[in-house]
Amino acid sequence: MNRHADNLARTTAESRRSRFDVEGVRADFPILNQEVHGRPLVYLDNAATSQKPRRVINTIARYYESDNANVHRGVHTLASRATFAYERARGKVHTFLNAPDMHQIIFTRGTTESVNLVAQSHGRSTLKAGDEILVTEMEHHSNIVPWQLLAEQTGAKVVVAPVTDAGELDMDAFERKLTAKTKIVAVVHVSNALGTINPVKEITRLAHGVGAVVVIDGAQATPHLKVDVQDIDCDFYAFSAHKVYGPTGIGVLYGKKALLEKMPPWQGGGEMILSVSFEKTTFNELPYRFEAGTPPIAGAIGLGEALDYISGFRHEDVVEHEQDLLAYGEAALLSVPKLRIVGTAKEKTGLHSFVIDGVHPHDIGTILDHEGIAIRTGHHCAQPIMTRFGLPATARASFAIYNTRDDIDRLVEGLAAVRKMMG
Amino acid sequence: MTGNSDLRELYQEVILDHSKRPRNFGRLEGATHHADGDNPLCGDRIHLELEMAGDRVKDVRFEGQGCAISTASASLMTEALKGLTRGEADALFHKMHETCTGQPDVKAVATPADADVDIGKLAVFEGVRQYPLRVKCATLAWHTLRNALAGAHVPAKTE
C-alpha cells in the first residue's frame, strides 16, 4: 500500500472509531443477530461472559482447519505453525498488559486457575503459620476460596478489608489491616457484583510498604480498562479470555520474574520439564514450567485474536461509549419505581447491580428473558458482598462494547413488564 | 408484550397471591420436626417446622426468603400438608415432582393405594415444566419436607 492509501485507510478507520460506530461493532458479533422469545436479543450478561466477534470464531476454526498440531513438540510443518501461533498469542498478551517480558505470561484455564496457581505455588512455598492474607469483602469466590485452602494448608490467616455502603473499598480500614504479618494482598481490580474500580496502584504501593505480594484479579477489568502491570507494579495479575471477547477455557497469569523464578511447579507433566529420569527431573524455564500438559492452543490463539480486536479501537472511544452506557443506564434504572442500585462507587465500570422491592431477582430474570433480555440474577459468586449488603441476590445488567442505549431502553421496558406481572 | 401469555402459565394468580401473602408463615411452637432448605445460587432459603401427631401432620409452618415460585410453593405445601399421614405426604411429594417436571420421580417407591392423594391446588405448578431452570425453586420446600420427616440435619438443596 502506498503512503497516501495507507493514510487514507487510517483516517477512515479513525473517523469510524471516533464516532464509535456501535452498529458496525454489533455486526462483528454474529450471535447478537437473533430473536429470543420472539424479540431481538438484548445481551446484558457480559460480566458473566462476553460474546465473541466473528474474527475470533473464524480464527479458531481456521486454526483447526489448517494448522492444528501439538506445540513445542515435533519438527513437522503443522507443529511449527501451531507453536508459532501459540507463542505469537503470548506475545499479544504481553503487549496487552504491558508486561516487561513475554516469559512472564503464563497461560492457564482462566482467572480462577491463575489465582490457584499463585496460592499453591508461591503461597504454599512461602507462607507459614501466623502469616496473613489480606483480601477484600468484595472478592469473587475465586479470590477467596484459594486463599482459604492455602490458609488451611499453612496455618496462615485470611483477613478481610471491609467495603463502604457505596461499595468502595474502605481504604483506611484496608491500611489498618495491612501489617508486617501481611504476606499476600489479593484484590479484585473491578468488582463483578458492584462494578467498583479499586485503586489497585495505591493498594499495591501500600502493600509493598509492608513487604506483601500483590495479586490482582483482573477478570472484570480487562474488558473495560487499559491495564498496565508495570504502572500498577502488582506482583501478579490474572484474567480470563472469555470476558474480553475471547474463548472460554483460557486465561492468563502475569507474574514478576523474580517471584516466578523462585516458584516451584504446581502441576507436573509434559511440557513443564527439560529432562526426566527416575532419579531426577529438571524443570523447564519460564513460562513453560507452569504449563504442564498440552495447553489450550486454539484458546490461546483465539485470545490473541480477541486482544487484536479490542486493541483495534481507540481505548478512549471504548471508555466513552461504556461510560455513556453506565450513566444512561443509571438514570434509566433509577426511573423504575422501587428500584435500588447496589454499588454506587465514584469509580465504576461495566455494570449495574440492582434490586426491586418485593420482587426476587430470579423472577426478574425469568420475566426479562421472556422479553428477549439476558441479565444475570443471583449472588454472582460473591456471597460475602451480598451478605454485606443484606441481600440474598441481585439482578445485574452488565455492558460490553456492542451494547446500546436502545438495549437499556428495552431493559427498562422489560422491568415495567416485571412490575405488571408481579403486581 | 410478547410471551406474557406463557408467562402467566408460570406466574398464575394463585402463585402470585401465595408469594405475596404466604400462609402459615412463621415459627411453630411445639414443633417435633424441622429442616432447612437452601438454594444458595438462587438465594432461596427456607426453614420448615412440623408438629406431628403420631403419623399425621398436625401443623406446619415455614420461614424464609426466595423468589415468587419458591415462596408460593412452600406456602401452598403447608396448606396441603395439614392432616396428611406421612405416606400421603410422600405421595404428594411425588405428584408435585411429576407436576413440575412432567416426569414421574424415578426415585419414587410404589405408593400404597391407601396413600393416594389429590394434587388439588398444587396443579398450578404445571407451568414450571416450561422453565427447567425454575424446577429447583418449586421443589425446594418439598425436599426440605422430606428431610424434616426423615430427621435429616443437612440442608435440602435442589440445585
A387 vs B: CB within 8 A: no
A355 vs B: CB within 8 A: no
pLDDT at A15: 45
Does B84 map to a domain?
yes
Mutate to test the interface with A, among B8, B63, B67, B70 (most CBs of A within 10 A): B67
Strand partners, B65: B45
Q: By CA distance, what is A382's nearest residue in B?
A: B41
C-alpha cell at A155: 496455618
Q: Which residues of chain B neighbour A37 with C-beta distances below 8 Å?
A: 2-3
Determine if the pTM surpasses 0.95: no
Mean pLDDT by groups of 10 residues along chain A of 423 residues: 50 52 97 97 98 98 97 90 97 98 97 98 98 98 97 98 98 98 98 98 98 98 98 98 98 98 91 85 90 95 98 96 97 97 96 96 95 94 91 95 98 96 88
Does B77 map to a domain?
yes
A384 vs B: CB within 8 A: no
Mutate to test the interface with B, among A42, A370, A419 (most CBs of B within 10 A): A370
Instruction: Identify the DSSP state of A69.
Output: -
Identify which of B41, B45, B68 has the shortest CB distance to residue A363: B68
Closest to A365 in 3D by CA, of B90, B12, B43, B123: B43
> What are the residue boundaries of the structural domains of chain A, listed by start?
16-45+314-422, 58-311
User: Any idea what the CATH number is for the domain that residue B113 is in?
Assistant: 3.90.1010.10
Longest dimension (CA), chain B: 52
With 60 as the cut, is the pLDDT of residue B8 above it?
A: yes
Place of cell 444475570: A376
Q: Count of residues for chain B?
A: 159
pLDDT at A17: 43
CATH 3.40.640.10 for domain A58-311, yes or no, is yes
3-state secondary structure of A107: strand
3-state secondary structure of A368: helix
Contact present, B24 and B62 (Cβ < 8 Å): yes
Band (pLDDT 50/70/90 cuts) for residue B39 is confident
B5 vs A: CB within 8 A: no
The pLDDT mean for chain B works out to 88
C-alpha cell at A129: 503459620
How many angstroms separate the Cα of A248 from the Cα of each of A51, A306, B5?
Answer: 10, 12, 36
Alpha-carbon A292 to chain mean position: 23
pLDDT at A304: 98
Q: A378, B45: Cβ pair inside 8 Å? A: no
Q: Please give the residue range of the domain that contains residue B43.
A: 4-150
In angstroms, the separation between the Cα of residue B42 and the nearest Cα of chain A is 5
pLDDT at B115: 62
Q: Where are the alpha helices (H) located in A105-161, listed in sequence order?
A: 111-117, 124-126, 145-154
Fold of the CATH domain A16-45+314-422:
Aspartate Aminotransferase, domain 1 (3.90.1150)
Instruction: Identify the DSSP state of A354.
Output: E
Provide the sign of the torsion angle of the four alpha carbons A375, A378, A381, A383, taken in this order.
Answer: positive
Q: Which residues of chain B neighbour A380 with C-beta distances below 8 Å?
A: none
**How many domains does chain B fold into?**
1
Whether residue A384 has a cis bond before it, omega within 30° of 0: no
Q: By CA distance, what is B4's nearest residue in A?
A: A370
3-state secondary structure of A97: helix
Active-site positions of A?
381
pLDDT at B5: 64
B11 vs A: CB within 8 A: yes
In angstroms, the separation between the Cα of residue A145 and the nearest Cα of chain B is 16
- Separation of alpha carbons B15 and A43, rounded Å: 29
Identify which of A37, A358, A378 has the shortest CB distance to residue B3: A37
Mutate to test the interface with A, among B7, B13, B133 (most CBs of A within 10 A): B7
Task: Provide the residue type at A183 as one letter.
Answer: K
Instruction: Identify the DSSP state of A65.
Output: I
Task: Provide the residue type at A55 as one letter.
Answer: R
A366 vs B: CB within 8 A: yes
Does B155 map to a domain?
no
How many angstroms separate the Cα of A394 from the Cα of each of A199, A240, A326, A383, B158?
Answer: 24, 23, 17, 11, 20
Please state the three-class secondary structure of chain B as a single string. CCCHHHHHHHCCHHHHHHHHCCCCECCCCCCCEEEEEEECCCCEEEEEEEEEECCEEEEEEEEEECCHHHHHHHHHHHHHHCCCEHHHHHHHHHHHHHHHHCCCCCCCCCCCHHHCCCCHHHHHHHHHHHCHHHHHHHHHHHHHHHHHHHCCCCCECCC
CB atoms within 10 A of CB A205: 13
With 50 as the cut, is the pLDDT of residue B2 above it?
A: no
Q: Count of residues for chain A?
A: 423
A213-217 and A236-240 strand pairing: parallel
Identify which of B43, B71, B134 has the shortest CB distance to residue A392: B43
Contacting B residues, span 37-96, partner chain A, CB-CB under 8 Å: 40-45, 65-69, 71
